[in-house]
Amino acid sequence: MRRYKGPEREITREELHAERAYGPYWYSGLWRIVRPLLVLFCSFLIAYGVLTGVISRLKGNYFDAVDAADPEEVAFSVRSGSSLTRVANDLENAGLIRNRTVFKYYGDFLGYGQKIQAGDYTLTRRMNVQEILDMLTTGDGKPLVRNITVIPGWTVEDIAAYLVKEGVIEAAADFTSLCVDGGPYSGYYYIQDVLTEGKPGRRYALEGYLAANTYEIYTDATADDIIRKLLSQTGTLFADEYFDRMEELSQKLGLTLNMDAVMTMASMIEKEAGSGEFARVSAVFYNRLRKNMTLGSDATVKYATGVTRLALTDSDTASPSPYNTYLNRGLPVGPICAPSPAAVYAALYPDETFMVSGQEYLYFCTKEPESGELYFSRTLEEHNRAVQIYRPLWEAYDQRMREGA
């Protein structure tokens, strides 16, 4: 290879040729370095342009507002437990998003699926997908849950009236209609037993099984949701050991008891006495059952007739009803209210000192109405004397209640 001597160094033939064609040799070397970078940069610009166009097209077709010029507000609700798929479908049906599938996968990818909160929202068609997701995951500012309290001694109708008053349900019939035959709740074994036994004249299949307690419910809970929550609590209320005690008590008293009989007895105890005298009232009722006497419970007559007077009349106690224990022997056809845990316990553990053979207590009546204290008697004569003494107090109390009303 021939070499040519320049002013500073010798160059090769190839370098000389390149210098003549492209400039000095040092420029040619720089070009070899810069050229790939320029190619890469230009490729990047082209790819960026293409990608920007694709993103812009996707954004415009799927993520942008449906109508940026439409300020009209649209009411939108997310029900408790709704999936992201359900929310996406509802949004598309309301014309608030462009594509439900894209909304769903975008929400899933960013982890919004478990963050969407139930509630009532006000959206517009000029909101984009991200703005809608931000609002649905922030919440509508309203509480998601609330508390309700079912008081021991309340009936199905009392509970329904309370739920309407509290704004939980719109109409009492929404609740009471579900409690009549109990068919939708046959999955609860104790309700299945009630349905299987099928006592004619029973007002509500679920009466007595809507356990009294304080509950946390969703603000959008339906009557069905609430009923199921209350029924589930009954399973906790009636402990497993109670079944063993029920069999023991049946054998001891010579009676046939099942869960419905115990709940019926407990409901009568709840309405007849304060908790301090539950066990004594339980003993009186069992004593009368063993002697095949009518139970003569005022509470059952009040349930049957709807009267609220403390002093019942002969007409009240003669009212024909399968719940009237003045006319019918044995327990009524079903519970008359939601009993407390203490009343259920008393129905299984009556006061045995009141059940001593030959000295059984068979009667009781209210003494002073304000306190609710009871007077217990062993004989009818003693009971009649007590009624004669205390009846004026009952009548005076009824008069005050009427005047107060």
How much is the pLDDT for 118?
A: 80
Are 85 and 59 within one domain?
no
- Given a contact cutoff of 8 angstroms between Cβ atoms, the answer to whether 325 and 295 are in contact is yes
For residue 82, give its domain range: 73-138
The strand pairing partners of 364, in sequence order, are 376
Total count of domains within the chain: 3
How much is the pLDDT for 324?
A: 96
| Structure-model confidence comparison of residues 47 and 155, the more confident one | 155
- Given a contact cutoff of 8 angstroms between Cβ atoms, the answer to whether 104 and 84 are in contact is yes
Are 234 and 121 within one domain?
no
pLDDT in tens, 222-280: 999 999 999 999 998 888 899 999 999 999 999 999 999 999 999 999 999 998 999 99
DSSP per-residue string spanning 44-104: HHHHHHHHHHHHHHHIIIIIS-S-TT---EEEEEE-TT--HHHHHHHHHHTT--S-HHHHH
pLDDT in tens, 199-230: 999 999 999 999 999 999 988 899 999 999 99
- This prediction's pTM: 0.71
Are 292 and 361 within one domain?
yes
Residue 143 in domain: no
Residue 144 in domain: no
Are 56 and 20 within one domain?
yes
Mean pLDDT of the chain: 86
For residue 122, count CB atoms less than 10 angstroms from its CB and return exposed for 0-12, middle for 13-18, buried for 19 or more.
exposed
CATH number at residue 92: 3.30.1490.480
Are 55 and 79 within one domain?
no
How confident is the model over 33-54, as a mean pLDDT?
61
Report residue 245 as tokens. Answer: 């005690």
Are 53 and 80 within one domain?
no
How much is the pLDDT for 264?
A: 97
Residue 209 in domain: yes
Are 106 and 247 within one domain?
no
Which residues have CB under 8 Å from 259's CB, separation 6+?
190, 193, 238, 243, 246
How confident is the model over 69-95, as a mean pLDDT?
86
Instruction: State the pLDDT confidence band at 281, using cuts at 50, 70 and 90.
Output: very high
d(CA 398, CA 298): 15
Q: Comparing C-alpha atoms, which of 341, 305, 345, 332 is closest to residue 207?
A: 332
**Would you say residue 4 has pLDDT above 50?**
no
Are 224 and 356 within one domain?
yes
| Structure-model confidence comparison of residues 363 and 72, the more confident one | 363
Are 58 and 194 within one domain?
no
How much is the pLDDT for 107?
A: 81
The distance of Cα 79 from the centroid of its chain, to the nearest Å, equals: 13
At residue 114, the 3 state secondary structure works out as coil
Tokens 């959206």, residue located: 123
Residue 88 in domain: yes
How confident is the model over 40-63, as a mean pLDDT?
58
